[in-house]
């Protein structure tokens, strides 16, 4: 491989530059609509974070997602992986894949081990300081919502809320600071967004999934660039080339794992939950309409009419969120298709390179061995001088020559 002619596998982003605001729905406005109704899963624009997380977590458990199958975002560390830890995780995957290929193709244990190691490597590659900031920002906003509830309860109960209001003000300042820190950490991943958009990620039900995907792309691109540099400096080193092609294919397998998981969570967790909320809201709307037809009390009718307006807002918000997730899924599915195609090429390239280098090695070894054989010479025999015999033969010849003839 010549310098400048190394592999050029472009790692496409799941959405085009400049479209991140479209990809990340303005969830704050959506949460405000849903919070107006105050359903049990979103008690307020901020307080819904904790309850929504709990409800979605319960749904994940029902879907069979236990602690060992936590999402990549949940398992991702709050720091970028260094080169050594990334290569270690990827190397374990590559070894398991080789073992699986050597074993029976139908062996479920080997396949399961590969998938488990891929999920582990995906979590490693999805690590980022931005993930740590996101978690701190979410905790701060949950604390802010809790204090608002306590202030409201104190006021309704006729108590003194002065101290709580001071705590609320401090919590608001802290939440703002953490949001700014989150924006700065996102910039380190190559994502430039506003504080408003950062808050959207923080309260979106799959904001951590989106962030894990962004971090995985950034970390994969960084490691890929480092590996290319190593290849450029060791163009004739077959060990380096073999390692590069294997790791490159494994990197694409990791990206495929992260993308597949995000799509799966949209299909199996978020969209079904939205459908359940929408179905329950429509049932409540039908119930309210039926009651409204028979009620005569003005106060009760006013309450039902308010409920109907709120239910309509919730239905519209749910539909908006559903369309957002479906669009997000469509973008991710296209990116996943591209990753799978690139992985197929990378696997083919890695195997081709391995076979070619194996054959070249065999030829070199064969040529060396044949050359050694052809260079062999039979041992030279010591020359037979026979000097004593020669003298004896000469003496015998003379005697025979001197005898008289008969």
Rg (CA), the chain: 37
* Residue 284 structural domain: 20-128+197-363
What integer is the mean pLDDT of 367-383? 50
List, for residues 238-281, the tens digit of each pLDDT value: 788 888 888 889 999 999 999 999 999 999 999 999 899 999 99
Q: Please identify which residue in the block is written with the tokens 């044949």.
A: 370
Q: State the total domains in the chain.
A: 1
In a domain, 398, yes or no: no
- Pair 41, 48: CB distance under 8 Å: yes
Q: Give yes or no for residue 117 having a pLDDT over 90.
A: yes
Nearest to 8 by CA among 256, 227, 331: 227
User: What are the residues whose beta carbons fall under 8 Å from the beta carbon of 317, sequence distance 6 or more?
Assistant: 30, 33, 34
99: left (phi over 0), alpha (psi -120 to 50) or beta: alpha
What integer is the mean pLDDT of 207-212? 90
Distance CA 124, CA 87 (A): 10
List, for residues 297-330, the tens digit of each pLDDT value: 999 999 999 999 998 988 888 888 888 889 989 9
Question: Could you tell me the two tokens for 134?
Answer: 């996101």
pLDDT of 44:
32
pLDDT of 55:
38
- Which string of DSSP letters, residue by residue, matches 222-270? HHHHHHHHHHHH-TT-HHHHHHHHHHHHHHHHHHHHHHHHHHHHIIIII
- Pair 22, 197: CB distance under 8 Å: no
Distance CA 112, CA 2 (A): 39
pLDDT of 404:
59
pLDDT of 38:
31
In a domain, 337, yes or no: yes
Question: Could you tell me the two tokens for 202?
Answer: 């923080």
In a domain, 32, yes or no: yes
In a domain, 229, yes or no: yes
pLDDT of 39:
32
Q: Give yes or no for residue 102 having a pLDDT over 90.
A: no
In a domain, 389, yes or no: no
Q: Give yes or no for residue 373 having a pLDDT over 60.
A: no
What integer is the mean pLDDT of 130-138? 92
In a domain, 372, yes or no: no
| Percent of the chain clearing pLDDT 90 (strictly above) | 36
In a domain, 225, yes or no: yes
- Which string of DSSP letters, residue by residue, matches 339-391? HHHHHHHHHHHHHHHHHHHHHHHHHHHHHHHHHHHHT--PPPPPP---HHHHH
- Pair 335, 14: CB distance under 8 Å: yes
Q: Higher-confidence residue: 35 or 71?
A: 71
DSSP annotation of 405 reads P
pLDDT of 125:
94
In a domain, 145, yes or no: no
pLDDT of 76:
94
């Amino acid at each position: 491989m010549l310098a400048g002619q190394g592999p050029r596998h472009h790692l496409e982003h799941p959405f085009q530059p400049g479209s991140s605001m479209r990809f990340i729905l303005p969830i704050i406005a959506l949460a405000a609509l849903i919070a107006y109704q105050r359903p049990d899963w979103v008690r307020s624009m901020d307080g819904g974070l904790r309850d929504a997380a709990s409800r979605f977590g319960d749904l994940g458990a029902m879907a069979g997602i236990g602690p060992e199958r936590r999402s990549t975002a949940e398992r991702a560390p709050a720091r970028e992986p260094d080169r050594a830890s990334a290569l270690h995780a990827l190397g374990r995957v590559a070894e398991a894949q080789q073992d699986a290929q050597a074993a029976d193709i139908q062996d479920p244990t080997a396949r399961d081990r590969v998938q488990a190691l891929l999920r582990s490597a995906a979590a490693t590659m999805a690590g980022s300081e931005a993930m740590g900031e996101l978690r701190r920002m979410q905790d701060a906003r949950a604390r802010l919502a809790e204090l608002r509830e306590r202030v409201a309860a104190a006021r309704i109960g006729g108590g003194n809320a002065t101290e709580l209001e001071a705590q609320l003000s401090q919590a608001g300042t802290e939440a703002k600071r953490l949001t700014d820190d989150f924006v700065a950490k996102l910039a380190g991943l190559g994502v430039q967004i506003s504080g408003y958009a950062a808050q959207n990620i923080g309260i979106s039900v799959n904001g951590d999934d989106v962030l894990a995907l962004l971090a995985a792309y950034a970390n994969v691109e960084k490691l890929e660039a480092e590996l290319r540099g190593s290849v450029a400096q060791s163009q004739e080193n077959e060990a380096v080339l073999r390692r590069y092609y294997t790791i490159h294919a494994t990197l694409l397998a990791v990206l495929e794992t992260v993308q597949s998981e995000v799509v799966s969570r949209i299909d199996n967790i978020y969209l079904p939950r939205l459908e359940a909320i929408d179905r329950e809201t429509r049932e409540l709307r039908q119930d309210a309409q039926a009651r409204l037809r028979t009620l005569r009390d003005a106060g009760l009718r006013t309450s039902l009419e308010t409920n109907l307006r709120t239910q309509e807002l919730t239905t519209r918000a749910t539909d908006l969120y559903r369309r957002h997730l479906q669009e997000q899924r469509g973008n991710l599915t296209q990116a996943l298709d591209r990753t799978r195609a690139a992985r197929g090429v990378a696997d083919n390239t890695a195997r081709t390179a391995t076979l070619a280098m194996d054959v070249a090695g065999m030829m070199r070894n064969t040529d060396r061995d044949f050359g050694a054989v052809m260079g062999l010479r039979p041992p030279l025999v010591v020359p037979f001088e026979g000097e004593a015999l020669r003298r004896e033969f000469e003496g015998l010849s003379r005697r025979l020559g001197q005898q008289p003839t008969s």
